[in-house]
């Protein structure tokens, strides 16, 4: 039968609202579709910048993958359009903003809030892995909060709001040993990253925090980290089972969902 009459969106279909954040590849605005008043986030990206960095192929591939992803813990990419100057992504809006800012505001999360967020992140990753998608560059900056639902937003190129991480290696702190050693990696890099994320939610800092890149890499490769005294034994066990140097020894996401630390902390009001 005929192809779906997917109409081409244009910028004139939207009323642009407040500026939510900006970075190297794009500016992000709140927006409202004029006919339906549906609220979205529009990400404006300059075509010139993307072509300069030969990213348009990567972006096209990314858009093809992301536009088919539908899960409560994955931020929706509703669609995209372009004009002669820019490419626009039409994204789901998360009213509570990013988890990085939330974490910095309250310094660290209590164990039940951390377990609730980690359980949602794991469910998002189980879905991503089932769709053959890995390494989503997990870090609190890439997690958004929509009324308590955590959404994994692949920022692609970290266009964050002004919540910039202070340490010099903001994104390197989540790298697993196999990537630090430049070996090939698979989806189990995400298991490691969930271990790092859990530690950061509970401690307020990452486990391998270092003043220099070489020291950071040394500590990661040696899985050299300590727990603050206030970490419960279950939390320590949960993190230890993910921060294993050898990917095959890491606990799977299904096992993680059934770990006592998660089960003990999931508030039964769902
Ligand atoms: C599915 O989410 C994405 C999917 C793809 C890309 C992307 O840029 N890909 C990309 C860009 C260039 C080259 C290759 C890939 C980015 C996002 N997401 C975002 O940029 C998040 C925008 S910030 C925000 N969003 C909602 N609610 C809020 N409160 C905020 Br703050």
The residue to which tokens 């890439």 are assigned = 142
Average pLDDT on 77-92 reads 94
Q: Is 99 in contact with 144 (CB distance < 8 Å)?
A: yes
What six digits make up the tokens of 50? 């993307």
pLDDT for 60 beyond 90: no
Whole-number Å distance between alpha carbons of 148 and 232: 24
Pocket around ligand 1 at a 6 A CB cut-off: 20-21, 25, 28, 41, 43, 55, 58-59, 62, 66, 75, 77, 89, 91, 93-94, 97-98, 144, 153-157, 159, 161
pLDDT reported for residue 165: 59
DSSP label of 74: B
Q: Which helix (H) or strand (E) holds 87?
A: strand 86-91
- Report how far ligand 1's centroid is from the alpha carbon of 116 (Å): 23
List the catalytic residues. 137
**Is 267 or 244 the better-scoring residue by pLDDT?**
244
pLDDT for 26 beyond 90: no
- Report how far ligand 1's centroid is from the alpha carbon of 184 (Å): 26
pLDDT for 97 beyond 60: yes
pLDDT for 170 beyond 80: no
pLDDT for 116 beyond 90: yes
Task: Point out the least confidently predicted range of 35-49, 166-180, 188-202.
Answer: 166-180
**Is 156 or 252 the better-scoring residue by pLDDT?**
252
Percent of the chain topping pLDDT 90: 69
pLDDT for 168 beyond 60: no
Whole-number Å distance between alpha carbons of 262 and 29: 35
pLDDT reported for residue 156: 52
Testing ligand 1's pocket by substitution, the residue of 45, 46, 64, 75 carrying the most ligand atoms inside 8 A of its CB is 75
Whole-number Å distance between alpha carbons of 41 and 16: 9
Average pLDDT on 86-97 reads 95
DSSP label of 251: P
What six digits make up the tokens of 253? 């996401």
Confidence of residue 269 (pLDDT cuts 50, 70, 90): very low
The residue to which tokens 């059934």 are assigned = 258
Task: Point out the least confidently predicted range of 30-44, 80-94, 149-163.
Answer: 149-163
Whole-number Å distance between alpha carbons of 81 and 178: 37
Look at residues 72, 117, 107 and name the one whose alpha carbon lies nearest to residue 262: 117
pLDDT for 162 beyond 80: no
Q: Which stretches within 135-222 are classed as H helix? A: 177-180, 189-203, 213-221
Testing ligand 1's pocket by substitution, the residue of 18, 41, 50 carrying the most ligand atoms inside 8 A of its CB is 41
pLDDT for 251 beyond 70: yes
How many Cα atoms sit within 13 Å of 141 on the Cβ side? 21
Whole-number Å distance between alpha carbons of 138 and 153: 9
Average pLDDT on 72-79 reads 95
Which pTM value belongs to this model? 0.90
Residue located nearest, by CA, to atom 2 of ligand 1 = 153
Residue 59 CA, closest ligand 1 atom number: 14
Residue 75 CA, closest ligand 1 atom number: 1
What six digits make up the tokens of 21? 């954040």
Confidence of residue 39 (pLDDT cuts 50, 70, 90): very high
pLDDT reported for residue 135: 64
Strands 39-46 and 86-91: antiparallel
Confidence of residue 155 (pLDDT cuts 50, 70, 90): low
pLDDT for 169 beyond 70: no
Confidence of residue 2 (pLDDT cuts 50, 70, 90): very low
Number of neighbours of residue 150 by Cβ within 10 angstroms: 24
What six digits make up the tokens of 122? 């794991």
pLDDT for 164 beyond 60: no
Residue located nearest, by CA, to atom 20 of ligand 1 = 155
Average pLDDT on 61-82 reads 91
Whole-number Å distance between alpha carbons of 226 and 236: 10
Confidence of residue 5 (pLDDT cuts 50, 70, 90): low
What six digits make up the tokens of 254? 């299904």
Whole-number Å distance between alpha carbons of 117 and 119: 5
b/e code 245-262 from CB counts within 10 Å (16+ = b): eebeebbebeebbebebb
């Amino acid at each position: 039968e005929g192809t779906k009459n997917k109409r081409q969106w244009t910028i004139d279909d939207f009323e642009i609202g407040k500026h939510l954040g900006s970075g190297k590849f794009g500016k992000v605005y709140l927006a409202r579709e004029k006919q339906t008043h549906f609220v979205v986030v529009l990400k404006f990206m300059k075509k010139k910048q993307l072509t300069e960095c030969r990213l348009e192929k990567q972006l096209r591939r990314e858009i093809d993958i992301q536009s088919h992803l539908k899960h409560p813990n994955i931020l929706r990419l509703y669609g995209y359009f372009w004009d002669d100057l820019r490419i626009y992504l039409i994204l789901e809006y998360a009213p509570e903003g990013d988890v990085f800012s939330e974490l910095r505001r309250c310094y660290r999360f209590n164990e039940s809030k951390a377990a609730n967020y980690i359980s949602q992140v794991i469910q998002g990753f189980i879905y991503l892995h089932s769709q053959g998608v890995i390494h989503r560059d997990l870090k609190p900056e890439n997690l958004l909060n929509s009324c308590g639902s955590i959404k994994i937003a692949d920022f692609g190129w970290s266009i964050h709001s002004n919540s910039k991480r202070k340490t010099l290696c903001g994104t390197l702190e989540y790298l697993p040993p196999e990537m630090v050693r430049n070996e090939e990696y698979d989806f189990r890099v995400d298991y490691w990253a969930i271990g790092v994320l859990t530690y950061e939610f509970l401690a307020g800092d990452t486990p391998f925090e270092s003043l220099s890149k070489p020291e950071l890499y040394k500590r990661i490769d040696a899985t050299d980290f300590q727990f603050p005294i206030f970490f419960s034994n279950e939390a320590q066990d949960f993190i230890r089972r993910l921060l294993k140097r050898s990917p095959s020894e890491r606990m799977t996401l299904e096992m993680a969902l059934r770990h006592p630390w998660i089960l003990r902390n999931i508030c039964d009001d769902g």
